[in-house]
Amino acid sequence: MDIKKDDLTGADVIALIAEHLEGMFASSPPESVHALNLDGLKKPEITFWSVWEQGELLGIGALKELSRQEGEVKSMRTASQHLRKGVARYMLDHIVSEAKSRGYKRLNLETGSMEAFAPAVRLYESFGFKECEPFADYSEDPNSLFMTLEL
């Protein structure tokens, strides 16, 4: 698997972002969906990566800079045909490593609290993420689970 910093212009990447958004809206009420669209992912505080193997897109992930000391995991998604192959673990390891190299002290994320998000929560917990209060611009939401990792 190869991770590359992505410019968000490739058809495969655009399609996977659309699939990600579609999945988020299918699993959560609209007011509880915090996934970024293509334009949101192009903001300067976001670094976006894609995971490839032999020319095939396996997954995506992003890191949003909240401050010079803090980041947020965004847009983690594995292509449906590549689930349970370690793609998300590979991407999350990359994001955590990047956050450490930037000197962040904390890495945060928001995910859904419903059963559909249980595999993601287990992955985050396996990296040491713990539940926390809402951070940045988030507020309490019964459909959201907030997690943090001290780096």
Query: CB under 8 Å to 80, separation ≥6 — which residues?
Result: 19
Q: Give me the sign of the Cα torsion angle 9, 119, 110, 89.
A: negative
Please state the pTM of the whole predicted model: 0.95
46-65 tens-digit pLDDT: 999 999 999 999 999 999 99
63-112 tens-digit pLDDT: 999 999 999 999 999 999 999 999 999 999 999 999 999 999 999 999 99
How many percent of the chain have pLDDT more than 70?
100
pLDDT at 85: 95
Q: What is the mean pLDDT of residues 4-15?
A: 97
Q: What is the mean pLDDT of residues 107-127?
A: 96
pLDDT at 122: 97
56 within 8 A of 78, measured Cβ to Cβ: no
| 3-state SS assignment for residue 122 | helix
The DSSP secondary-structure symbol of 106 reads E
Diameter of the chain by CA atoms? 42
Among 1, 142, 21, which residue's Cα sits nearest to residue 75?
21
* Length in residues, the chain: 151
